[in-house]
Structure 1
Amino acid sequence: MNFTSGQRITNRDEDFIINEAIDNNGSWILKVEGISELVKGKRFVFDTHIDKEIRVLNPIDTELIADTDYGYRKTKLFIENQMRSAPVYSKQITVAHKAAFNLAAYQLEPTLKAFDLPRPRILIADGVGLGKTIEVGIFLSEMIRRGKGKRIMVLALKSILGQFQQEIWNRFAIPLVRLDSDGISKIKSELPANKNPFEYYDKTIVSIDTLKNNAKFQHYIEKTQWDIVVIDECHTVANTGSLRGGLAQLLSTKCDSLILTSATPHNGKKQSFANLVNMIEPLAIKDDTNYSKEDILPYYVRRFKFNIDDESVRSNFPERKVVPIHANLTDAENAFLALQQKIKFDAINSLNAADIQNDLFGRKSPRKQKRDLLFAIGLFKSYMSSPEAALSSVENRIKKLDAMTDQKELVENNLELLNQLRKQLQHIIDAKQDAKYQTFKNELIRLKWNGRKNDFRIVVFAERIETLKALKQKLQQDFELEDKVIADFHGSLTDMEQQRIIEDFGKADSDYRILLTSDAGSQGVNLHYFCNYMFNYDIPWSLITLEQRNGRIDRYGQSKTPYIHYMIAKSELKGLKDDLHIISKLKDKEEAVYNSLGDAASVYKLYNVTAEEDLVTMAIAGNNERLIDQPVEAVAEDAGFDLGADFWDDATPALPVADPILEQASLFANDRTYYEALILQLKSDGYLNLDDAQFEGDLLEVKHTKELDRILYDLPHEAKPQKIGDVYQLSLYKEEVQQAIADARKKKGEWAKFHILYELHPVVRFLMTQLEASVDKNVGLVAKLSQLPEGVAYFVIHGMVSNNLGQSVLSDFFVVPMHIDGGLQGKPLPFEDFLKAQQLDKELFTESITDNDLAKLQSLLPEVIDFARQLHMGQQQQMLQWDMEKKLAVYEEKLRNWKAGKEQQMQQEFGDKPDFGFLKRRRENKEFEFKTILHNSSRYFKDLTSLNGDAYLKILAVFYH
């Protein structure tokens, strides 16, 4: 017997679908996935040399039995379960709209756009605070509904692992196993040492730093395949030469679907952004340094707040208030900064203008003067954070000098000068001459904030950890704050510490009144739930960073007016006044962007934090305010920008989708009646005890039994009831679940009490599987209805077609009408049409079914299967094959063009160069890389678009009169 991908087989009394069939010298190695009750969703490998009883399922063997339940409840439920469980292939949204979030059309676009691609892969590049996590959840739920989201891995920043996991569970009921430090320790204690956790847990969330620093995990990854990989804040993996970038590239080859998210996904260089696009579609770009917007437009979505027309969405972004707070520097501070300015101008006077404007960071002019200039600017920048930060920088430099033997004549090596700077800084700190802190303290007093339990919460951003430490110490002294009131957050904390602080700060019962954070807290974390006051204690020299900071409280879902405070130093000291003005202008720039363009990166078009900081450094070095105030085109040209002004700053065009949501047919009047019937049937059949599940008002309560606990082993423990015998509470009303999510923020450690009741929830999947188990394998249920034409039987069939990857690509529910005595009554028709015509969603009345009737219906099965294959599924399959062949032709043309482009590049790069040594190895590596991409892409798409054998048919039920 020959086996092929897509076939349904039975072995050891269970049913499977073949994902891959490998000829093994007369026997077969079959990689399969379970589709019957006990093995559903699990993967196995069979060897036909060992398992000799494997056979292909044949619908002719179906046994027809009478449904004797009241109103043919079991028949209706069985068909409904099949329809809710079977993969769907619509390009519309089919299930995500039921999840617990406020539906907005723009949030559906990434998923809808991804569905237009051969493989659903896309970059979500929406602006800060627009809800990219929700958009990821929509995509995941839709892919799960399509049967292509069983195995998922999410990579996120270590600070937001818990936040992301909780959001995806609370709103979409998708469980992710969190592999943070605690999660990994748990795995080590529970799993055998040689067990791959990514094979044991289907859905995981982990930090990419955890993966790149763990050689064993990387080994596991190389042996694993996922349906979907999600990489949050993907700009951190754009450099393929880094450990992060290399790992991301590997993961992109280990999954069918890939989702990348970032509000700032590139650094302005075409090569860097091409790395991300190549992860999504390796054939999108022929030349990584020369491609157009049209080449990449299919692979990303980008929108800003002001692109959203939906008033209900815009109302979730209260207009923010900007509060500049000026601190007049003290005499001691002016004296210190006067010395800093002297160092700066002495260096400037020794340099040409070109050295500063074009080559400040290069080596074309004497290094000494530029080193002195950069030292002076660095000293200024550290002091703009705090005198403690500046003191730390000076003291660190002094320590380095002690270990140096070769000390060149640089200012930063002048021990006498460094000691003088240290003495002045120590005096400022000891004499409490820090004007910015005094002004900050006075502002808190003006706002009547004392750090007490009923005071509002505040987020304070500062670049330097020394500043955060100093702020904490001063605030504790001046406001008599306990440790539990003040939190400091920075990148050197462990993942568990970071998650704990962020979660705690977002709870109503938190003791924290003030969060002091470095820019490690500026990306991804939600700080807006109970906080609408923020202070930029120092102003970062990057508009991108500034926008990210402000977006922590000024984001979708903020219920109050966000107050953004800026601490701005002021001085009339010559030179220093100009430098301070340049820094203050950054605040004005960000505010102008907020009120017009919507994206801070569009101002300088550098798209890179370091590049923007360097630009500000050059402006201060040359006392050149024009650099940060001139038209963007000039700045971009000066900075060597190469991605194109119109390339990234505009939102992607809205998708012209008239009706994005597909409402699916049902045999029940609504979801409530379906779930009530399901619970009642399972109790009648003995699969549930009387008190295992029941509706209490609008809530379905399902008891947490030992069996359920065992089956749902991979649910987050916070999502489960506390003990056996407690209940899951599932609601059909998303507003109720959303209120539960809000209520959970009132208490530390709590997750939402109510979950969304829909077909993707693991508890619901368990109940649906139990119903399926109540109908024996290869059994079709029979119902007798007096409203049907007499002497006619309607066979309800589910037909499926798979491709060479073992993926179902066609799933159809249809009806074959037959004369009781044989022969076709009419053309096969969609089940949805039959359902409406015969009003099967209304109350049905059970009638007596004789053995003679069953025998007649049973005798019709060979004809029914024949008609189903030839007259319906055969035509459907042929139409699908034509469509697949057209897609394959387009893709093959794309392959040829991509190949020609790569060969031309190879000729240009290596054509006239010697073919030996380093150049030969480099050429061979590049040839191997692009040939591998070509081979893998060609094979994948052929398998994707090749239909395999006859359709699989399953007889679900027969209605007759």
Structure 2
Amino acid sequence: MSATEVTERSALNVAPGSLVRVRDADWLVTNASPTQDGLLIEVTGLSELVRDTRAAFYEHLDEIVPYDPRKTKVRADDSPKYRRSRLWLESTLRKTPIPLGEGRLSVSTQMLTDALGYQRSAVRKALSNDNLRPRILLADTVGLGKTIEIGMILSELVRRGRGERILVVTPKHVLEQMQFEMWTRFALPFVRLDSGGIQRVRQKLPATRNPFSLYKRVIISMDTLKQDRYLNHLRKHQWDAVVIDESHNLTGSGTQNNSLARVLAPNTEALILASATPHNGNKESFAELVRLLEPTAVGPDGDIDRTALDRLVVRRHRHSAEVAREVGDDWAERKELQHLLVDASPEEDAVAQELADVWLYPTAGTSPYSGENKGLFPWTLAKAYLSSPPALVESVRNRIRTLGEELTVAQQREREALDRLLTLAQASAAGPSAKIEKLIEYLKGIGISKTSEMRAVIFSERVPTLLWLQRELQAHLGLKAEQVAVLYGGLSDVEQQEVVESFKLSSSPIRILVTGDIASEGVNLHSQCHELVHFDIPWSLIRIEQRNGRIDRYGQRHAPQITTLLLRPSHDKFAGDVRVLTALVKRENEAHGALGDAGALMGSYSVAAEEKAVESALSKGQSLEDVIPSPEAVAANDADPWLSFILDEADHHVDTTTEVTVSERITTGLFPSDAAYLAAALEEVFETPAASQAAGGVEWREHAGYGLVELSPTDDLRQRLSVLPQAYLADRRVVDDMKLAITPTLAHASLKEARDDRSNQKGLWPEAHYLGPLHPVLDWAGDRTLARLGRDEVFVVRGDVFAPTVLVLGSLTNERGQVIATNLVAVSGTSVQPFADAAEAFDELGVTHDRSNPSPVGDVDDLQKLIPTAVDAAEEHLRLTSEAAAQDVRRRVSEWSDRVQEWVDASESQRQIEELRARTRRVREEAEIARTMLPARRLARPLLVIVPEEN
């Protein structure tokens, strides 16, 4: 298709930034996309009765009349320093999405993050033109900041007009953490639908109404979302972007999690999956994740395409070159690993003797276990014993309940052995615990007390051990009830979030957090803590690494101390088992330093598989070296072990080098800062004669020396913030007196103050929020500005030109309403001068933030005739210059369609498999999506008329 064949697939020629008239009102188009019911345009009201109202109209239901850009009126700007012109231009360009293929990062590097190079490289990969749509698996190992990468990607999607409707799915204990990071770092407000949030929705909406129609940006837990009533709503809902954190939980075919993922994946434009452990040791499970991202990336035979993997997956670790050279002092190296071996008490030794002689190492044919797998249950008992006496008591009682009352001869024999073991375990539980005594001694030694500031995280696998530790530590350390917190799956989602968020605060009463492996995924515990104790040891390197990553992660300024507690019984064989477990933790520590990825040692990348291998080694009396190779042995192989496992190849390499760029912000130069733009907009819109005076419901105060501004929000601005936590809005008085930090220094200080203030009763959310480029207050100010300064008009100003010149913005969009390319040109007579971006154009034309305005330009009516000529010239220039972008899109769509056809052809011989038929339907849907990516519309809009200075 040639440039002249860019088709008008809809009779309606609109694009983001267009002005339209619908139902006798004027509207600004913010998005235009095709649906099964025709073209849907999303708009913001400009006319008085609909000002600031957001609405959506279907082409076939309403008469939508675009303004003809050739009929745009010209208007002299009489404001000081051409403030109105600059406001109108800035607001218009902020509302105009940047092109899909823009290689620079526009806003994500200007948020409240460190924006490290390796994180920027992940964002670029997600937005790369190599992908038909933004789809990526963030598989960085623990602690590198995947949440920051998620926020950066979402920020860029929003600026590209592709982030209006976003769904974020997380484990329930990190719902608030995700909401907090998205708001404080990226100024993206999300509603949090935990159990409390869902209850509020039910009060607002009838049961039959789709809850996702109420909120456009939602954070919700997997456990909630996978319920049938939500799945039914999701099948009818389209998203711009979906994020699924801890996405390794999606891979089980036929599970509720997997069913949810299969509903979401085809119903979203962008899909971001995140997991430090993205597969469970099963190649097909990992292929399922890749298939969610891109159906054609996994062949009908199940093989994963290598080139697709390079496009779709990001995987780095702590000691990857691009990471290590950047994290510096912001990620302190671990202290030397500590093993505290504790001699068992007489009561504990008696239990160990019984376990070893009767259950673990019985003479041939004398094992009392009557179940099918005689090798597994004894080690379940051993793990419980090594955890705590209460854990062993519970395990024995559970087995007795399973046996029931009517027993066979073999079962009766097992019951008798269990009764003996239970008696010994109960005696051990009633007596002193050597491990508890050692733990208390250690905690006192590092300074844990009722009045100290020191904190520690203690991990255990067993809930009885957690509850026992809570009681014992509180009693023996003289701590108050609120100073020892327990986090485990039995708590509600709200209770889990409260514990996690409290522990991050300096003002929190919690001194010891006792937690199970629920906290080993996704939770950041490093802001106030650098001491972690394994009260019992998981039999998995991956699980140990996940636990350690709660405090050993980017942002940790104190050297993390990892400590293990191990009970050492006197029984020779059992003591040997303990030595194996000690070596297991040591191996993880060695892998952390040498490889950055403990999963690479055993190569199964599965917690369950690692546990089974360790258990087998113990039962056979093998040494650790028989099961787990040394880090040196793994490092000697140049191949990436993680990718080699996936691809069954020994020679696969991935280039992880990253080009580091200090700043990439795309700006106009019309205002020296976002704060300056906001101040000018408020003064113009509300006609405030002085920044310190109140007018029109807004009071604006700027504390320039402190980098702080304050304003009192209007009702429509309060509405935009209403999705944020009500406690935050009330405690920080956000809806009455919004404090905005206009420098990163103050914003970081505000975050730190909220976290570290020991008298803080208002939680982790900061008092002053960073005024980043996507902040809702700037979006609100832009809407108010455009509504006030006219609709089908452009301003006339003086500048550095020799003859009257019209600046015109051309845009090429696809059928989905997405901007493919933009073209900014200055038209003067028959001359057309293109510019690389707005900053270059305004600088060369002399439209700067400090240019004086001696008086309004006269005789503007004579300039009116320039507009249609300039629009025609710009459209022709756009037709010619956008052909390169159009050709590139057509090439990529063609390649994608070819891949789809190759996949379909390869699947023909296997079509009898029902699962494959379902995949084929998904692949064919990809072909239709590709078609809608083709260029469809061109639009040229006058932005400004510039006349010579002497006019």
* TM-score when normalising by structure 1: 0.89
Q: Confirm or deny: 8 A CA contact 1:5 1:803 kept in the other structure.
A: no
CA drift of 1:82 comes to: 2.0
Distance in 2 (CA, whole Å) between partners of 1:716 and 1:429 is 44
Greater shift in the superposed pair: 767-776 or 806-815: 806-815
1:232 and 2:245 equivalent? yes
Of residues 259, 262, 265, the one that matches 2:275 is: 262
- Per mean C-alpha deviation after superposition, the further-off stretch among 141-150 and 925-934 is 925-934
Q: Which residue identity lines up with residue 527 of structure 2 in the other structure?
A: Y
Match of 2:11 among 3, 12, 15: 3
Quote how far apart the aligned CAs of 1:122 are. 0.6
Residue number in structure 1 paired with 2:434: 435
Partner of 1:868: 874
Distance 2:751 2:77 in 1: 42
1:342 corresponding residue in structure 2 = 357
Which letter does structure 1 place at the counterpart of 2:485? A
The structure 2 residue matched to 1:715, chosen from 705, 708, 724, is 724
Match of 2:809 in 1: 798
Q: 1:887 aligns with which of 892, 899, 911?
A: 892
- Give secondary structure in 2 for the equivalent of 1:484: helix
Cα distance change of structure 1 residues 834 and 236 upon mapping to structure 2, 3 Å threshold: closer
**Structure 1 residues 151, 199: CA separation in 2 closer, same or farther (over 3 Å shift)?**
same
Tell whether the 8 Å contact from 1:703 to 1:725 is kept in structure 2 after alignment: yes
Aligned residue identity for 1:873: L
Task: Assess if the C-alpha contact under 8 Å between 2:40 and 2:59 holds in 1.
Answer: no
Measured after TM superposition, the shift of residue 776 of structure 1 is 1.4
Once the two structures are TM-superposed, the CA of residue 838 in structure 1 deviates from its matched residue by 3.3
The Cα shift of 1:36 comes to 4.8
* Deviations, residues 565-600 of structure 1 (Å, cap 9, x unaligned): 100222342211221111111111111112211111
Over 3 Å counting, the alpha-carbon distance change for 1:110 and 1:648 in structure 2 is farther
Distance (whole Å) between structure 2 residues aligned to residue 724 and residue 122 of structure 1: 35
- How does 1:623-634 map onto structure 2 within 5 Å? 623-625=621-623, 626-630=625-629
| 2:345 equivalent to 1:330 | yes
**Aligned residue type for 2:853:** T
Which residue is 1:246 aligned to? 259
Report the counterpart of residue 714 of structure 2 in structure 1: 705
Question: Where does residue 640 of structure 2 map in the other structure?
Answer: none
SS in 1 for 2:203: helix
Instruction: Tell me, in whole angstroms, the C-alpha distance in 2 between the residues paired with 1:648 and 1:534.
Output: 38
Is the CA contact (8 Å cut-off) linking 1:6 and 1:802 kept in structure 2? no
Q: Is the 8 A contact 1:541 1:583 kept in 2?
A: yes
**How do 1:829-844 residues align onto structure 2 when only pairs under 5 Å count?**
829=835, 832-841=839-848, 843-844=850-851
Q: Partner amino acid for 2:864?
A: Q
Match in the other structure for 1:142: 156
Deviation string 1:75-131 (CA, Å, 9 cap, x unpaired) is 122112222332112122111111112231111111101121221111111111111
Check conservation: 2:489, 2:518, Cα contact below 8 A. Answer: yes
Which residues of 2 match residues 77-96 of structure 1 at below 5 A? 77-89=87-99, 90-96=102-108
**Structure 1: gaps (5+ residues):** 353-365, 819-823, 908-922
724-733 or 215-224: bigger deviation: 724-733
Cα 1:770–1:295 change in 2 (3 A) is closer
Report deviation, 1:481: 2.6
* 1:843 counterpart letter in structure 2: D
For residue 91 of structure 2, what is the amino acid of its counterpart? N
Map of 2:646 onto structure 1: 643
> 1:426 is matched with which residue?
426
2:791 partner letter = K
- Is 1:286 equivalent to 2:275 in the alignment? no
Of 490, 502, 517 in structure 2, the residue corresponding to residue 504 of structure 1 is: 502
In the alignment, the residues of structure 1 paired with residue 51 and residue 917 of structure 2 have an alpha-carbon distance, to the nearest angstrom, of 41
CA distance in 2, matches of 1:558, 1:630: 30
Read off the aligned partner of 1:409 and give its amino acid letter.
Answer: A
**SS of equivalent to 1:34:** strand
Distance 1:351 1:725, change over 3 A: closer
Taking the TM superposition and a 5 Å limit, the aligned residue runs for 1:354-365 are none
Whole-Å Cα distance in 2 between the matches of residues 595 and 21 of structure 1?
Answer: 51
Matches of 2:651 and 2:291, distance apart in 1: 17
Deviation at 1:711, TM superposition (A): 4.1
Conserved in 1, the CA contact under 8 Å of 2:191 and 2:219? yes
Residues 577 and 526 of structure 1, relative CA distance in 2, 3 Å threshold = same
| Deviation digits for residues 454-477 of structure 1 (CA, Å, limit 9, x no counterpart) | 241111101101111111222233
Match of residue 925 from structure 1: 914
Are 1:570 and 2:558 an aligned pair?
no
Map of 1:70 onto structure 2: 80
Instruction: Name the structure 2 match of 1:469.
Output: 467
The whole-number CA distance in structure 1 between the counterparts of 2:286 and 2:902 is 21
1:483 maps to which of 462, 471, 481: 481
Residue of structure 1 in register with 2:588 after alignment: 590
Kindly indicate whether the alpha-carbon contact (under 8 Å) linking 1:180 and 1:207 is maintained by their aligned counterparts in 2: yes
Structure 2 counterpart of 1:938? 927
CA distance in 2, matches of 1:890, 1:754: 49
Equivalents in 1 of 2:898, 2:62: separation in Å?
Answer: 43
Aligned pair partner of 1:386 in 388, 392, 396: 388
Instruction: Compare 494-503 and 54-63 and name the one that shifted more.
Output: 54-63
Which residue of 933, 939, 950 corresponds with 1:951?
939
CA contact (8 A) 2:740 2:770 kept: yes
Distance (whole Å) between structure 1 residues aligned to residue 292 and residue 462 of structure 2 = 35
Which 10-residue stretch deviates more, 576-585 or 11-20? 11-20
Instruction: Find 2:822's aligned residue among 804, 808, 811.
Output: 811
Q: 1:535 touches 1:564 (CA, 8 Å); kept in 2?
A: yes
Aligned pair in 2 of structure 1 residues 435, 51: CA closer, same or farther (>3 Å)?
closer
In the alignment, is the contact (CA less than 8 A) between 1:5 and 1:802 conserved in 2? no
* Post-superposition offset of 1:223: 1.4
Change (3 A) 1:235 1:41: farther
Aligned to 2:374: 372
The size of the alignment, in residue pairs, is 906
- Whether the 8 Å CA contact 2:175–2:194 is kept in 1: the answer is yes
**CA 1:258/1:882 → structure 2, altered by over 3 Å: closer, same or farther?**
same
The one-letter code of the counterpart of 1:302 is: R
The residue aligned with 1:678 is: 681
Give the aligned partner of residue 5 of structure 2.
Answer: none
Three-state SS of the structure 2 residue aligned to 1:148 is: coil
Residues of 2 paired with 1:211 and 1:925: CA distance? Answer: 26
Preserved contact between residue 383 and residue 389 of structure 1 (Cα < 8 Å): yes
1:271 and 1:288 in contact (8 A); partners too? no
* Distance (whole Å) between structure 2 residues aligned to residue 324 and residue 196 of structure 1: 54
1:800-827 deviation digits (Å, cap 9, x = unpaired): 2221112222233322113xxxxx2454
Contact 1:62 1:955 in 2 (8 A): no
Q: What's the Cα RMSD here?
A: 3.0
**Contact 1:227–1:256 at 8 Å: present in 2 too?**
yes
What is the aligned counterpart of 1:494 among 472, 492, 495? Answer: 492
User: What SS does the corresponding residue of 1:567 show, helix, strand or coil?
Assistant: strand
Residue of structure 2 aligned with 1:539, choices 518, 523, 537: 537
Report deviation, 1:847.
Answer: 4.7
Q: 1:926 to 1:510 in 2, by over 3 A?
A: closer
Q: Work out the CA distance in 2 between the residues paired with 1:583 and 1:5.
A: 68
Contact 2:871–2:942 (8 Å) recurs in 1: no
Q: Which residue of 1 aligns with 2:229?
A: 216
Aligned pair partner of 1:739 in 730, 741, 749:
749
CA contact (8 A) 1:33 1:40 kept: no
Secondary structure of the 1:164 match is: helix
Q: Residue type of the partner of 1:893?
A: D
Asked if 1:409 is matched to 2:417, the reply is no
Q: Secondary structure at the match of 2:526?
A: coil
Measure, in 2, the Cα distance between the counterparts of 1:724 and 1:127.
37
Whether contact under 8 Å (1:372, 1:410) holds in the other structure is: no
- Asked if 1 retains the 8 angstrom alpha-carbon contact of 2:34 and 2:817, the reply is no
Identity over aligned pairs, percent: 28
Whether the 8 Å contact between 2:297 and 2:305 is mirrored in structure 1 is no
Q: Distance in 1 between matches of 2:596 and 2:33?
A: 49
Alignment of 1:594-613 (within 5 A): 594-613=592-611
**1:892 & 1:316 partners in 2: Cα distance?**
45
Indicate the SS of the match to 2:572: coil
SS of the aligned residue for 1:349 comes to coil
Q: Which amino acid aligns with 1:714?
A: V
Structure 2 residue 66 is matched with structure 1 residue 59: no
